[in-house]
Structures are given as structure tokens and as C-alpha cells.
Amino acid sequence: MSPARTLESSPLPTTQTAIIQGEGGILSIHHNAPLPTLRPDRILVKVAYVAINPCDWKMADRFPTPGCVDGCDFSGTVVALGSDWAKTGRFKIGDRVCGGVHGSNPIDQSTGCFADYVSADAQFTFHVPEYMGMEDAAAVGGTGIGTLGLALKRSLGLPGSPRDPVPESESVQVLVYAASTSVGTLATQLLRMSGHKPIGVCSAKNFDMVKSYGAVKLFDYHSPTCAQDIRAYTKNTLAHILDPITEPKTTELCYAAMGRAGGKYCALEAFAEEFCTRRVVKPELVMGMAILGGRIALDYGYESEADPEKRVFGVSWYEEMQELLDSGRLRNHPVRSFPGGFEGIMKGLHLLKTKQVSGEKLIVQLG
């Protein structure tokens, strides 16, 4: 580890338990993994809880890189400060924090949070407010927040923000597919606080939950007339769509729901060009961790070069999200406590991969 200020009363171990990719991206539990390198711009966090996201199994499945530590969203306690942060006072040892990291990152293999310790970018880490428990803090994490910053502001180009909402005259309707997912409920809140009108697509069983986060109208994707019903409700003028799932059937529905004049379709997964059937609809893939400003060393359309401007935007966005957390305005997704520690993470990943989770966030305690 590089020079850092550490918690003297609790010397750091030399090894840790972590979930790491093996050959073919197969994830397994390792009990003698090295601690992550603490760079000057990072803080070292003793992990308390982790959230399990679809990207946690997808990264290993689609971009197998043996040696990568998996996991993105966490909460925990600061135990060491990189040299850039040791004297700033923004973070101190013992602080409760939460955030998101680029787990299973081929060019930064030790960064994942499915481990006893995680090395987190300090500028993209939140202080956990006093009112919030660490389990809920892990559900907040940071992956969804970063992704939606890029999606809502840079991809869809929506005006306003929770800090500076648009007036009613500038409010637009935004369709949120998979509105009952954690990204969906977060997007719904951010849109509503920014002055816009979030319209959700999800299963009818989750309507009440999604309404509680601010959706103005909901549609059941099981309905054979779902897209037509959305077009009727929006008077054929819908021009902004967020699709966290981005499968052929979701792309087809979203394209069918888009208004006559077309608009912007923001996909959070790679989309198949053959299902992008309308020239007036402009699709774009958003890779959330690009908000950190570094190079994304993946493929299949997810790759991108370093972009310092995205980092500048991201730092400002996270500062605004910290304000929302501190004021209690930003709610986390409903939590499902999942037992078993590291074994529990492995089981939870299987549940997500086999689509056995709906309307809740799996949270596992590690520390």
C-alpha cells in the first residue's frame, strides 16, 4: 500500500476475504486475497454491508478477467486515507461512508467491494447521514447515482436538477422502464425532484411501491397494449425514455411507446441495433462508471477513453446528491436483508441472474 494515514489502534491485516473472478469469470470466495492498493486519491474502507446489483454477475459473465475483485455498492467505515486526503479534513478515520466502485475492473483489479476492505475514490464517496443505518446506506451505494447522473443530464439532456428544478412550463414526461428496480425508483425520485413527470413501466404488483417514490403514472409491461397505452397517455409526444434493462423486448416496447416525432432512448445496457427501428429515435448507451473519468477497458460497446469532463460533472453531481442524502430527501430502494456473508453474496448473485428478485435490493452484511 502507498503511504497513508491509518487507524493506529487497529493495524490493518495483510490479507482479506474477497470474491474474485477465476478462469472464465467464475466467481469464488478467496480467504487470503491481498488488500487493495490505496492510491493517493482514495480512501480505504472496512466494508460493513454490500448491495448486490445485476452488474455484479454481468461483469464477470460478459467480461471475464481472472483476478478481478467483484462488487460495486458498499457501506463501511474509513480506516485509512490516501495522501491526497490525509490533510483535507473532508474525511477522517472512523467516518461512516457509502459509495460505488468499478468492481471487476480489468485495469484496476483489486477495487471491488465484495471484500473485507475496499479502496474507494474519495470524491465519489458519500458521508452516511446520522439518521441512516449502514444497511440502507449500502442500498444507496453510488453506482445507480453515477449512472443516472450521466443518463438524465448528459444522455437525455434533461434541464433542471433537484437543487434547481424546472418550472411547470418546462417539465417533460420521461418514461422509466423497470421502474420497480433500484435504478428505477432512484430515477423516479430524481426526475420528480427536478420538476419532471416520471412515467413508470413495471409489474402491476409493484405499482404502489413505485408510486410512493413519485411516479405520476404507471403501466404494466405484461399488458399486450402497454406501448399503445403509453402513447395514448402521452398524446403521442413522449421524447425521453430510460431503459435500465435493454433487452430486445424492452427496446421494442420503448420504441413503440416513443412519440411520433421521436426522441432520445437512453439504454443502460448494450442495445441490439436491429431493434432500433425508428430513425427519429436516437439511442445511446450509458456506462455508469464512466462518470469517474477514467478509461473503461471493456468491449461490446461499453468501452470508452478517459474523459476528464465527465469526472468534473460527476464531482458536482455527487456533491448535490450528498445534499439530498443529508436532508433526507433521497430514499433508498426497499431492502431485503440477505444472510450468509460471502456465501450469501454468491447465493444472491444467483437469484439476480435467474430473475428471482423483484422490487427489492439484496443487502448482505460483511462486517
**Per residue in 310-353, pLDDT tens?**
999 999 999 999 999 999 999 999 999 999 999 999 999 999 99
Rounded to whole angstroms, the Cα distance separating 71 from 321 reads 21
Written as one string, the DSSP assignment of 1-53 is: --SEEE-TTSPPPSEEEEEEE-GGG-EEEEEEEEPPP--TTEEEEEEEEEEE-
**281 and 165 together in one domain:** yes
| Partners of 50 in beta bridges | 74, 364
**209 and 134 together in one domain:** no
Full residue range of the structural domain in which residue 334 is found: 17-142+292-365
CA dist 271 to 122, 151, 247, Å? 32, 15, 7
| Residue at 9 is within a domain | no
**Res 4 pLDDT > 80:** no
| Residue at 278 is within a domain | yes
pLDDT in tens, 143-186: 999 999 999 999 999 999 999 999 999 999 999 999 999 999 99
> With bands split at pLDDT 50, 70 and 90, how would you rate the model's confidence at 87?
confident
Q: What is the pLDDT of residue 1?
A: 45
Give the total number of structural domains in the chain: 2
**59 and 166 together in one domain:** no
**25 and 126 together in one domain:** yes
Neighbours of 252 (CB within 10 A): 15
**Res 24 pLDDT > 70:** yes
Residue 209 three-state SS: helix
> With bands split at pLDDT 50, 70 and 90, how would you rate the model's confidence at 5?
low
Percentage of the chain modeled with pLDDT above 90: 93
Residues 144 and 288 sit within 8 Å (Cβ to Cβ): yes
**334 and 280 together in one domain:** no
Residues 222 and 240 sit within 8 Å (Cβ to Cβ): no
Residue of 15 and 37 predicted with greater confidence: 15
Last residue of a domain, one of 285, 303, 337: 285
**102 and 118 together in one domain:** yes
Half-sphere exposure (Cβ direction) of 20: Cα atoms closer than 13 Å: 21
Considering the entire predicted model, what is its pTM? 0.95
Binding site as annotated, residues for NADP(+)? 55-58, 203-206, 221, 268-269, 357-358
Rounded to whole angstroms, the Cα distance separating 66 from 23 reads 5
> With bands split at pLDDT 50, 70 and 90, how would you rate the model's confidence at 10?
low
**138 and 188 together in one domain:** no
CATH of the domain at 191: 3.40.50.720
**211 and 307 together in one domain:** no
Q: What is the pLDDT of residue 11?
A: 86
**32 and 88 together in one domain:** yes
**37 and 109 together in one domain:** yes
Binding site as annotated, residues? 55-58, 143-150, 203-206, 221, 268-269, 288-292, 357-358
Residue located via cell numbers 466467481: 27
Binding site as annotated, residues for substrate? 143-150, 288-292
